[in-house]
Structure 1
Amino acid sequence: MDLGDWSRILLARVRRQFPVLAAATLVAVLALAGGVTPLFVAASWFLILLSLLLGAAEKAEAEPVATVEPIPVEVDPLPAITAAFGALDWPVILLSADATVLFQNRSAEKAFGQVPEGVHLSARLRSPGILDMVRETIATGQPTQIEHSERLPSERVYILRIAPVDLGATEGFGSPQRLFALAFRDISELRNIDRMRSDFVANASHELRTPLASLRGFIETLQGPAKGDVKAHDRFLGIMLEQANRMSRLVDDLLSLSRLELKAHIAPDQTVDLVPVINHVRDALLPLAQELGVDVKLHLPEAKAEVLGDRDELVQVFENLIENACKYGQEGKQVDVYVRAEPASAVEVSVVDYGPGIPAEHVPRITERFYRVSVADSRSKKGTGLGLAIVKHILTRHRARLIVKSELGKGTDFTVRF
């Protein structure tokens, strides 16, 4: 309240206190005429002024105090929402009402690649099931979820759930905003564990049945008819040792395959030069090649042949391929290994044998677990049927391809392309 307000209140009080002012004027006249003492005049004026001031204060308290209305402030809710989604380790994509991408967190960028803002969801995720689910939720406003599988670059399984984000009537945006959060929950590990458990039971029981039956038969024979036959003991114990070694190799390969499957989606990030890797593998397999009468020749570039990979796993890949070439291409007496590393192009390693070759109908299936072109031939060469399956899983983790070319009577070419 300013000075002008106080003046108006004082004038109003003066009008209401006119009788008091008249009495004060009369006292002043009498004082000038000498009818009253100066002390009486001073006391009278003091009482009059005090009455006027108290009246003005009561008036001011009676008047309502003006309040200041708050100025509306425009608030954008998107930064808070995107900050919350960005802290999650699940892939999350925020969509508008027309299914365009408004935001994706780092987990979504890592899993599916970066999607520019304002681009329709179908530019990145083209699965009809996902797009139908998104359309349904946008139309009905009800949460929906489905199970979705990705096969490239590695097989992944997700539970997708989309739900509306209710922002209400937000200042600065007019009508309530309609946003939708699309979340991905990775259940690949659970699916892999379930599949590995069932595969292990089915395949291991099948593969272990034969050696176990042999061991049981020989043990029963040694305990019965051949109990005192020393020559039979030596022969049967040798066969039993071979069957036990076969079971040991089978279990080792199954465990190796299980470990590879668990980390198949994690790409290696180390730089490995394939030239010394191939030299190391050739040296390790030299005794086997000499025993089989096979000459392993290397054709290596002068420069490095570097790829992103895990050295131990790559050694396992080329050991398997060169060992198979020596065993199954033994008739050709020679195995050629080519390493090609041209600048700005893919790195390739080819293992070529000159044996009997693989029939065309078997080529697409040779990387399946326990698949054999010839069961008798594979077992006679101490194979488990899991070698090429292990190779396939390692190369999948390395984002590489295995290309098989074979011609009956001329040999087989296994090419690994990074």
Structure 2
Amino acid sequence: MSTDLIEAVPVPIIIVNRERRIVSLNGFARSLYGADMAGRHYMTIIREPFCVQQIEAAVTGRQTHPAELRRRVDERERIFSLTAAPWSEGGAIVTLIDETEAHDAERMRSDFVANVSHELKTPLTALRGLIETLSGAAQNDAEARVRFLAMMAEETERMHRLVSDLLSLNRLEDADVVTRNDRIDLCEIIAAARQSLSDSAAARGISIVLEGCHEPVPLHGDSDQLRQVFNNLVENAIKYGEENGTVTIAVSHEKYDPLLRGPAIRAAVTDDGRGIGQEHLARLTERFYRVDRHRSRQIGGTGLGLAIVKHIVRRHRGWFRIASQVGKGSTFTVLLPAD
């Protein structure tokens, strides 16, 4: 096989002769193993037993199978599928296909299914126990029936919120779904979110203060999606803020924002809650990630709200940032391109 040909192939290729010596490597293989490998025994760079078996089988003309090879590249372990085929001049042609992203996607899918199963199992288990109790000992106890039915309604609502959030996230992750680009007033959307959550805030004695909305703030976007963003952020601030405290929503114009490389509208939702440790901030927008699982479930969180916010903001070509300190509350900032 000519050197020009293997250099043109966009994956690592290693050619081994009958003596198991490396004859040549293309550029991608040299970037993995170094430029001075020619002439060495192939086992100086490939030592995984099953990979060695496949290369030996190719050299001796026997049937081969793909083998998994792991190698650390740029501080990260990458996963390759190694295939070995007989070389016409005697030896083997070894090809490495990078399957790291496919493995990551499969792991994320498995984790997602496990998380959804767990999140649904918790309220379903509670419902099952309540139904069994109502069918037995509490069957003729009117007071117990009322109490248990209220608990069943709460668990049912939890499942409904989870399924609704999952459907929202699925739509947002679907590249074929087009985000509307209407001319809207951001302050009107935020004011609607504030109004819809006023009862929840009042129940905890929390005041919602809106700043910077003395006049309309126009931009282009999907009003339904942006309403969901601020509903999620303000609802979280109410849930995790201190009782009898304050949630502040501050809207401002930026003549130039370096992240958006142009004029921007900044909307920041700040609470006065317990705050969040720095080690958690980078993961808060992951699906089902919770700083305090027990507390989150107590207050009805699904673990998907911030993931939905992140996806919507990205669809609007914006940025979403989180700042927090333990004991000093948290600020969730949405940056959107200004008209």
Q: TM-score, normalised by structure 1?
A: 0.51
Cα distance, 1:301 vs structure 2: 4.7
Cα distance, 1:229 vs structure 2: 3.0
Q: Which structure has the highest strand share of the two? A: 2
2:308 paired residue number: 390
2:297 paired residue number: 379
Determine if contact 1:264/1:393 at 8 Å carries over to the other structure. no
Cα distance, 1:273 vs structure 2: 2.2
Residue in structure 2 matching 1:416, options 302, 322, 334: 334
Residue 272 (structure 2) pairs with residue 354 (structure 1) = yes
Question: Aligned with 1:362: secondary structure?
Answer: helix
Q: Deviations over 1:294-343 (max 9, x none)?
A: 11111125454333310110011011111111110134610111111144
2:125 paired residue number: 213
1:234 paired residue number: 146
Structure 1 counterpart of 2:288, one-letter code: F
Q: TM-score, normalised by structure 2?
A: 0.62
Q: Which structure has the highest helix share of the two? A: 1
Structure 2 counterpart of 1:254, one-letter code: L
Percentage of matched positions with identical amino acids = 49
Residue 191 (structure 2) pairs with residue 273 (structure 1) = no
Residue 242 (structure 2) pairs with residue 324 (structure 1) = no
Question: Aligned with 1:408: secondary structure?
Answer: coil
**Whole-angstrom CA distance in 1 between matches of 2:211 and 2:197:** 17
The higher radius of gyration belongs to 1
Residue in structure 1 matching 2:318, options 388, 400, 408: 400
Tell me: CA distance 1:257–1:199, structure 2 relative to 1, closer, same or farther (3 Å).
Answer: farther
Q: Give the number of equivalent residue pairs.
A: 234
Question: Aligned with 2:267: secondary structure?
Answer: strand
Pairing of 1:29-48 with structure 2 (within 5 A): none
Tell me: CA distance 1:264–1:416, structure 2 relative to 1, closer, same or farther (3 Å).
Answer: farther
Pairing of 1:264-343 with structure 2 (within 5 A): 266=178, 268-331=180-243, 333-343=245-255
C-alpha RMSD over aligned residues: 3.0
Tell me: CA distance 1:392–1:380, structure 2 relative to 1, closer, same or farther (3 Å).
Answer: same
Structure 1 counterpart of 2:316, one-letter code: H
Residue in structure 2 matching 1:259, options 171, 190, 209: 171
Determine if contact 1:299/1:337 at 8 Å carries over to the other structure. yes
Structure 1 counterpart of 2:319, one-letter code: R
Determine if contact 1:301/1:341 at 8 Å carries over to the other structure. no
Tell me: CA distance 1:331–1:357, structure 2 relative to 1, closer, same or farther (3 Å).
Answer: farther
Question: Aligned with 2:197: secondary structure?
Answer: helix
Structure 2 counterpart of 1:283, one-letter code: Q
**Whole-angstrom CA distance in 1 between matches of 2:218 and 2:145:** 53
**Whole-angstrom CA distance in 1 between matches of 2:317 and 2:179:** 7
In structure 1, stretches of 5+ residues that fail to align are: 1-98, 100-127, 133-190
Q: Deviations over 1:240-272 (max 9, x none)?
A: 121111111111111111111114885643332
Name which of structure 1's ranges 218-227 and 381-390 shifts more when overlaid on structure 2: 218-227
Question: Aligned with 1:330: secondary structure?
Answer: coil
Pairing of 1:94-105 with structure 2 (within 5 A): none
Structure ranking higher on relative contact order (CA contacts 8 Å, 6+ apart): 2
Determine if contact 2:205/2:243 at 8 Å carries over to the other structure. no
Cα distance, 1:365 vs structure 2: 0.9
**Whole-angstrom CA distance in 2 between matches of 1:260 and 1:235:** 38
